[in-house]
Amino acid sequence: MRLVDAHVMNYRSIEDSEMFEVDPEVTCLVGKNEAGKTGLLQALYHLNPVENVPEFDEHVDFPTKRMKQKREYRRDQMIPVVTATFELTPGEVAHVDGALGEGVLMSTQFTLTKGYRAFPGGQWQFQYSERTITAHLVAQLDATAREIVGSAASVEALVTTLEAETELHSTSKAVLEKVRGWGGTASHCVLAQVKPMLPRFVYFEDYDRMPGKIAIPDLAKRYADGTLTRGEAALFNLLSMAGTDPEDFDDQSNHERLIRLLENAGNGISEEVFAFWTQNTGLSVKLDVKPPEKGVTGRLSEGTNLQVRVFNEKHGASVPFDERSRGFVWFFSFLAYFTELEEAQDTDLVLLLDEPGLSLHGRAQEDLLRLIDERLAPKHQVLYTTHSPFMVSSTQFGRVRTVIDHDPGGTRVSAEIFKADDDTAAPLLAAMGIDMSQTLFIGDNTLLLEGPSDLIYIDVLNDALAQEDRITLDPRWVKVPVGGAGKLSTFVTLLGSNKLNVAVLIDSSTKDQGAVRRLHDNGQMRPKALIKLSEIIGRTNADIEDLFDLDFYLALVNDAYSDKLPSAITPGDLNNDDPRVVSRIEQYFREGNINNGHFDHYRPAAVLLRPGAVTSTPSTTTLDLAEQLFERINKLIVKNRGARR
């Protein structure tokens, strides 16, 4: 059974959320602080909570601004808080058909409303055929009883007629008792079939963290009283996973067996956690039994204690569980709480996660999203709240619902995400920006270039080689001009940390080529991922412009600066002692005070973008060098992301 849509009203800041659809798998509720996200989840939690929770309290929870509307309700009339639509699966429909007659349900959807005052179990609305139910029940009676009831018009009439008979066959008695047990009316018959299949709602918030140490007798007592916090319930669940009861800790003769069971439980949940937690895989969780603590007051001195420790393989040391990072403690606590709960439930679950991963690093939040998509969503519906861009999947905006506290009107929920105000839309826009930076401008195989002129030259040479059916640059390379010298090393570091395959093309004019070389030499780049143009051209110093014949490049310069040059530059005008053509032209501009002595590398390249501006084509020597360069770069292609250095 799945949740289809919901409508929350008359609850705290939520005067009327308006009906909003719930995604079949994952619904992301995005809103700024104090928008009412927590109130939404808590209202939904009351539909069928997995824990015992108090009913809605109208004196505490009813919105103050709606007191006038509250007076319109009678004392015996329900004031609605949450109305939800659910849909039965084909298997569940078949179960109802088997109990009440084929085709009894006129719709596979029904609604449940819970609120203040009357109807503590909620109001259920089904569309069903009472005629089908009655006929199905009559068919189960013995022949004499069938004659007595005739063609009963309703389930109630059927029950009344059978109850009036003093002698009934055992078969008919069984039918009568069954219908009485269901409630004696057609609607109760349907409810009796559907209610046990209603999903249980699980609420977990950022503050629900497992303690690092607890007294076993106190844990057992409060479990029996039903007063465990969710964090303590997570610890209790670890014991259940180990196959132990709190009483087992009192049996000292079974000490070795107990230790082994706890080790198995620790290993089991650690394996579950580290299948998704990538921030530090060199951790393991250990459960340890400790005697009562001496010299302290409180529960830890009153009986055997259970301590949870986290062992760090890198540092060869362990620390108490609750002294680990807050994010890791939450991540572990949730999985410990959920894993045992999932196994214990025989119905579907709807998981309500309030600001999950609030204290997690951006990458760890990506781990959490992967946990939700790969571990939780395939089995259970998930609704979670957030205001973090890392918790918004930019490829699945369809599952986002915005939560905005309007004035007037209170909290509203909407699927029209880009009608949101600036504050609410901020994490959505940031999520788009993160995705664009990782997909639009970079890719799994990223070739970093110093600037846009390098990109133009690469593309021109690539096209010229393609026209001659020669080796070209592999199209899987995403060419990224970083926008200026001095930025290459930063881009290499950032993209490399994102596990992308990065190659870097540098020339002699690259200002931070030393920093890039150090990154390469220190193993922060793949071997041979640093391509030096000087090695391709065969000189100690060379730039990308040196791939071209001098006459071809000078034609570009003369065209680009035709309004600044007194006459076209010829090879004889340049200082031929300098091997780099760009350096020679810069010297010529300085000495002649052309363009105030400044030569812009981009302007000659831009000439190539104007149709018909260049009449000649790159020489065979230039194309030979370009082909050699592209062959070298293509050898660095990585086919599958994740197959890194």
The DSSP-derived string for 330-386 is HHHHHHHHHHHHHHH-SS-EEEEEESTTTTS-HHHHHHHHHHIIIIITTTSEEEEEE
Residue among 97, 114, 101 nearest 58 (CA): 114
pLDDT in tens, 338-354: 988 888 888 899 999 99
| pLDDT in the model for residue 645 | 34
Alpha-carbon span 226 to 601, nearest angstrom: 74
> What residues pair up with 414 in beta bridges, in sequence order?
402
Query: How many CB atoms within 10 Å of residue 486?
Result: 13
| pLDDT in the model for residue 237 | 85
pLDDT in tens, 612-636: 777 788 999 999 999 999 999 999 9
Q: Give yes or no for residue 573 having a pLDDT over 70.
A: yes
| pLDDT in the model for residue 196 | 96
Residue whose token pair is 């929870």: 61
Tokens standing for residue 484: 């200026």
| Mean pLDDT confidence for 266-284 | 84
| pLDDT in the model for residue 485 | 46
Alpha helices in 117-215 (DSSP H): 130-138, 143-149, 155-163, 170-182, 186-194
Pick the most confident of 43-57, 322-336, 352-366: 43-57
Residue whose token pair is 């005052």: 117
| Mean pLDDT confidence for 27-33 | 93
Whether residue 15 contacts residue 9, with contact meaning beta carbons closer than 8 Å, is answered with yes
| pLDDT in the model for residue 268 | 82
> What residues pair up with 204 in beta bridges, in sequence order?
353
Whether residue 337 contacts residue 209, with contact meaning beta carbons closer than 8 Å, is answered with no
| Mean pLDDT confidence for 604-612 | 85
CA angle 370, 374, 380 (to 5 degrees): 115
Count of all residues that appear for the chain in the document: 645
Buried b (16+ CB within 10 A) or exposed e, 216-239: bbbbbebbeeeebebbbbbbbbbb
pLDDT in tens, 502-513: 888 888 765 556
DSSP-derived 3-state class of residue 447: strand
Tokens standing for residue 409: 């009107």
Q: Give yes or no for residue 642 having a pLDDT over 50.
A: no
Integer distance in angstroms from the first to the last C-alpha of the chain?
Answer: 46
Instruction: Give the residue with greater pLDDT, 379 vs 496.
Output: 379
Alpha carbon 438 to chain centroid distance?
17
| Mean pLDDT confidence for 463-468 | 93
| pLDDT in the model for residue 442 | 58
Alpha-carbon span 626 to 525, nearest angstrom: 23
Whether residue 126 contacts residue 187, with contact meaning beta carbons closer than 8 Å, is answered with yes
State the pLDDT confidence band at 644, using cuts at 50, 70 and 90. very low
Instruction: Give the residue with greater pLDDT, 421 vs 123.
Output: 123
| pLDDT in the model for residue 494 | 56
| pLDDT in the model for residue 46 | 97
* Pairing, β 109-116 against β 79-87: antiparallel
Beta-sheet strands, E only, within 415-553: 445-449, 477-481, 501-506, 530-532
Alpha-carbon span 551 to 561, nearest angstrom: 15
Alpha-carbon span 94 to 102, nearest angstrom: 8
What is the percent of the chain where pLDDT is above 70?
Answer: 91
Alpha-carbon span 473 to 471, nearest angstrom: 7
Domain boundaries, the chain: 2-197, 204-346, 445-543+625-634, 550-617
DSSP 440: T
State the pLDDT confidence band at 440, using cuts at 50, 70 and 90. very low
Q: Give yes or no for residue 441 having a pLDDT over 60.
A: no
| pLDDT in the model for residue 8 | 97
The Cα-based distances of 291 to 213, 252, 288, 294, 378 in angstroms read 12, 11, 10, 9, 42
Alpha carbon 456 to chain centroid distance?
38
Q: Residue 178: is it exposed, middle or buried by C-beta count within 10 angstroms (0-12/13-18/19+)?
A: middle
Q: What are phi and psi of 421, to 5 degrees?
A: -70, 170
DSSP-derived 3-state class of residue 42: helix
State the pLDDT confidence band at 487, using cuts at 50, 70 and 90. low
User: What one-letter code names the amino acid at 36?
Assistant: G
Fold of 445-543+625-634: Rossmann fold (3.40.50)
pLDDT in tens, 213-246: 888 888 888 888 888 999 999 888 888 877 787 7
pLDDT in tens, 377-430: 999 999 999 998 889 887 788 899 999 998 887 899 998 765 678 788 788 777
| Mean pLDDT confidence for 585-596 | 93
DSSP-derived 3-state class of residue 303: coil
Secondary structure element (H or E) that encloses residue 308, with its range = strand 305-312
| pLDDT in the model for residue 419 | 63
Q: Residue 408: is it exposed, middle or buried by C-beta count within 10 angstroms (0-12/13-18/19+)?
A: exposed
Q: Residue 351: is it exposed, middle or buried by C-beta count within 10 angstroms (0-12/13-18/19+)?
A: buried
Residue among 571, 563, 569, 553 nearest 607 (CA): 553
Work out the mean pLDDT of the chain and round it to a whole number. Answer: 87
Tokens standing for residue 346: 């025989």
> What residues pair up with 311 in beta bridges, in sequence order?
284, 318
> What residues pair up with 353 in beta bridges, in sequence order?
204, 384
Q: Give yes or no for residue 535 having a pLDDT over 70.
A: yes
pLDDT in tens, 355-373: 998 888 888 898 999 999 9
User: What one-letter code names the amino acid at 251?
Assistant: D
What is the percent of the chain where pLDDT is above 90?
Answer: 47
* Pairing, β 109-116 against β 123-125: antiparallel
Secondary structure element (H or E) that encloses residue 26, with its range = strand 26-30
| pLDDT in the model for residue 155 | 95
Instruction: Give the residue with greater pLDDT, 261 vs 338.
Output: 338
Alpha-carbon span 143 to 309, nearest angstrom: 70
Instruction: Give the residue with greater pLDDT, 19 vs 396.
Output: 19
Secondary structure element (H or E) that encloses residue 514, with its range = helix 513-521
Whether residue 18 contacts residue 39, with contact meaning beta carbons closer than 8 Å, is answered with no
Q: Give yes or no for residue 457 having a pLDDT over 70.
A: yes
* Pairing, β 2-11 against β 14-16: antiparallel
State the pLDDT confidence band at 446, using cuts at 50, 70 and 90. confident
Measured N-to-C along each axis, helices 326-344 and 362-371 cross at an angle, to the nearest 10 degrees, of 10
pLDDT in tens, 69-118: 888 998 889 999 999 999 999 999 999 999 999 999 999 999 999 999 88
State the pLDDT confidence band at 283, using cuts at 50, 70 and 90. confident
Alpha-carbon span 600 to 583, nearest angstrom: 12
| Mean pLDDT confidence for 535-559 | 92
Tokens standing for residue 12: 């705290």
Measured N-to-C along each axis, helices 230-242 and 216-225 cross at an angle, to the nearest 10 degrees, of 110
Q: Give yes or no for residue 643 having a pLDDT over 50.
A: no
Whether residue 306 contacts residue 235, with contact meaning beta carbons closer than 8 Å, is answered with yes
Percent helix, strand and coil across the chain, each rounded to 5?
A: 45, 20, 35
| pLDDT in the model for residue 194 | 98
Alpha-carbon span 115 to 107, nearest angstrom: 24
Q: Give yes or no for residue 287 having a pLDDT over 70.
A: yes
